[in-house]
Amino acid sequence: MKDKDAEAMRAGLVEAIPRLRAFARSLCGDRDRADDLVQETITRALANRDKFQPGTNLNAWLVTILRNHFYSEGRKRRREVEDADGQFAARLADRPAQDANLDMKDFTRALQTLPDEQREALILIGAGGFSYEEVSEISGVRVGTVKSRVSRARARLTELLGGPPGETTEPPDTPLVAAGGRR
């Protein structure tokens, strides 16, 4: 790698860390684990820096490394946040439909109940600034699959949280849910 490219990559790595932390935190829902993921990602990126093609999307490359490590790690350990019995959903179902105090804790908890692939797609599209095509590359699936995952994730969150605070909750059998809301 040329000095100029190496310098650009160094700068890119430094700049990417806060964004990677945000992605990792959203993905795994745990601060310490997220920071470990990012640290490992940077370490791997440096160790494999010759495999990065200058001029291509460094952020997408880093996110790919991070999510691969996340899934690899996830195979070894059981998810800490689970909702297998639907307890979280049941608790939320008891909430008033119009709850202006819907807070971020509920949102982040609900986010963690989504299947990993759906959560990943939703985060990268909704906050990561990536296009569907880029997420398709990162995740190694077709664009249509990414769109389907985002749609299902949105439907599930809407189902769990009842929609935005202060607005009318949609009935559970709206077309959005019917189109992709089944788990």
Partner 1 sequence: MPEATFPDPQGSGAMKVLGKTLDSNDDPPRKPALATGTRREGDWIAGRLRRVYDEVRAEPLPEQFLVLLGKISRQDPDESGPESGATGSGDR
Interface residues with partner 1 (CB under 8 A)?
6, 10, 13-14, 17-19, 21-23, 25-26, 35, 38-40, 42-49, 51, 53, 56, 61, 64-65, 67-69, 72, 104, 107-108, 111, 122-123, 125-130, 137, 140, 147, 150-151, 154, 157-158, 163-165, 167, 170, 176
By beta-carbon proximity to partner 1, the closer residue of 113 and 158 is 158
Name which of 19 and 83 has its Cβ closer to partner 1: 19
CA distances 79 to 69, 76, 112, 175, Å, are 14, 10, 10, 31
Tell me how far apart the alpha carbons of residues 35 and 21 are, in angstroms, rounded to a whole number. 6
Q: Please give the helix or strand (H or E) that residue 131 lies within, else none.
A: none
Burial class (CB in 10 A: 0-12, 13-18, 19+), 28: buried
Our CB check for partner 1 shows the closer of 98 and 108 to be 108
Smallest distance from the beta carbon of 9 to partner 1, in angstroms?
9
| Separation of alpha carbons 97 and 100, rounded Å | 9
Which residue, 117 or 154, has its beta carbon nearer to partner 1? 154
